[in-house]
Amino acid sequence: MSATLQSPLSTILSSSTLQEKKLRFASQSVKPAALIIKPLRALSLVRGATWFSSSTDTVPSTELDAVTRYSEIVPDTVIFDDFERFPPTAATVSSSLVLGICGLPDSKFKSSVDRALADSECYNIENLASRMSCFSDKALVNVGGGLAKLVPGRVSTEVDARLAYDTQAITKKVHDLLRLYDKVEVPAERLLFKIPSTWQGIEASRLLEAEGIQTHLTFVYSFCQAAAAAQAGASVIQIFVGRLRDWARNHTGDAEIETAVGRGDDPGLTLVTKAYNYIQKNGYKSKLMAAAIRNKQDVFNLLGVDYIITPLKILQSLKESVTPPDEKYSLVKRLSPESAAVYNFSSEELAKWDQYSFSSAMGPAAVELLASGLDGHANQSRRLEEFFGKIWPPPNV
């Protein structure tokens, strides 16, 4: 998913810089700004979670039929095309999505953005930054409401990454977005709110889930993040397999990654396996999503995980690969509650995570990749606000 995902930093942080980032990770509080969301690819995306039909046992099936027996395959689908080949059943709305819509005036969603910019609740706000934040929220929700009419599953709305270190600001933003969704008649059970997996973000997830609001924790690059997210009760936890692999190819010094590499294992696949087993063995409700899939073998190695976000090129290859009836069941389910039951965890890994133990366990890979993702999301949010500032007021306002 090279077009979708942020590239890791090219050089490792120095030990002093890493220590500063860990300290910031543990204690920093970012004040609310405007809405940021999803810079994960240059074009806007719909994350379509689609169950593909399997063939009968009497005719050849495809590898795609076979893998969907074990995991829900989530097409990484550009919103403006590919619906016929791989129709999504769920969606993600983000700042980058809204920017993409603004760049395509013939899009059916352009009117959703225009309505947001004409909203009297926003244009009566005197403070310019607050006004642009209001426009961004309205545009996200209007587009999300439109997507909810097109897909039967949930719509995930990404929360401003500039709030990533402020639990109170995250929860307030989610409540504000939920209020706007209620106005466009999208019920809470159709919604997820995508939050960065800082400690403060995980705490916000805990508070929101206690209210019955579903959260989707992203930017997970270490076991401590996955375990703390599961303990918080996050509905969905998203791990980026390929990004961890890329980091390991160019860096050293991360104990968690080097342990996996020393065994000859892929660090991204290892983290998904360990997180899945932790969730299943301890009876947490969270569903695990694997992202940054780079090839078919990644899909095969992750069979059994709840969701696999899969690029269209890989989906097409799976769809075109015919599996004879006698080979249909040759693919192995790698992850299962049964395998999780016999997986061994240390007492430290099973302990209740707190802010100090969490910050101490964050290795350089997780610190770098999290920071890179947050910076990318913040940039998308600023771009959207700057664009709205240039075109506002629209005609007839």
CA 160 to chain centre: 13
Q: Which of 22, 194, 274, 328 is catalytic?
A: 194
User: The tokens of 6 are what?
Assistant: 């942020």
Whether the Cβ atoms of residue 209 and residue 235 lie closer than 8 Å to each other: yes
Q: How far apart are CA 164 and CA 28, in angstroms?
A: 9
Whether the Cβ atoms of residue 38 and residue 96 lie closer than 8 Å to each other: yes
3-class secondary structure, 57 = coil
Q: Strand pairing partners for 240? A: 291
Which uninterrupted H or E stretch holds 93? strand 91-93
Q: How far apart are CA 136 and CA 287, in angstroms?
A: 29
Identify the residue whose tokens are 């395998």.
Answer: 339
Q: Strand pairing partners for 291? A: 240
Our answer to whether residue 194 is catalytic in this structure is: yes
The contacts of residue 115 (CB under 8 Å, 6+ apart) are 138, 142
User: The tokens of 307 are what?
Assistant: 């969701």
Q: Nearest to residue 180, comparing CAs of 219, 211, 128, 137?
A: 137
Q: How many helices (H) and strands (E) does the chain have?
A: 18, 11
Between helices 128-150 and 110-117, what is the axis angle to 10°? 150
3-class secondary structure, 303 = strand
Output 120-124 pairs: Cβ under 8 A, ≥24 positions apart: 123/392, 123/393, 123/397
Query: Could you give the angle at the alpha carbon of 299 between the alpha carbons of 332 and 369, nearest 5°?
Result: 135
- Report the 10 Å Cβ neighbour count for 209: 17
Q: How far apart are CA 164 and CA 204, in angstroms?
A: 10
Give the active site residues: 194
